[in-house]
Amino acid sequence: MGSEAERYWTQAEVAKRWRCSEANIKNLRERGLIGFFQFGRSIRYLQQDIIEFESHNTKRRKGGAPPKARSAVRKPDVSPASPTQWRI
């Protein structure tokens, strides 16, 4: 990270930045979507990790690259002869 000192954010700071609850941040952490450090009982998030997560998981505004296309709805490999044969 060069000559800059690494900056660590608390869960509350990340939640405030993202305008969401601390429980949401905890959920992302537990799912392994954002990296964290644990110092005793204290959880901290590296600033660079948070910024990188934002850059990969936010939509761009006007003038930016278009958002990724959503994946197409998956259809069954084999279709029945008539729609009445479909069962759930």
Q: In which band, very low, low, confident or very high, does the pLDDT at 58 lie, cut at 50, 70 and 90?
A: confident
CB atoms closer than 10 angstroms to residue 65: 7
Q: Provide mean pLDDT across the span 2-25.
A: 88
Please name which of 12, 25, 21 lies closest in space to residue 54, comparing C-alpha atoms.
Answer: 25
**Which pLDDT value is given to residue 82?**
61
**Which pLDDT value is given to residue 25?**
95
CATH code of the domain occupying 1-60: 1.10.10
> What tens digit of pLDDT does each residue of 17-54 get?
999 999 999 999 999 999 999 989 999 999 999 999 99
Q: Which residues contact 38 (CB under 8 A, 6 or more apart)?
A: 44
Domain boundaries, the chain: 1-60
First and final CA of the chain: distance in angstroms? 54
* Amino acid, single-letter form, for residue 42: S
- Ramachandran area for residue 64 (φ above 0: left; ψ -120 to 50: alpha; else beta): beta
Q: Above 80 in pLDDT, residue 74?
A: no
d(CA 53, CA 65): 17
The neighbouring-strand residues paired with 46 are 8
What pTM was estimated for this model as a whole? Answer: 0.60
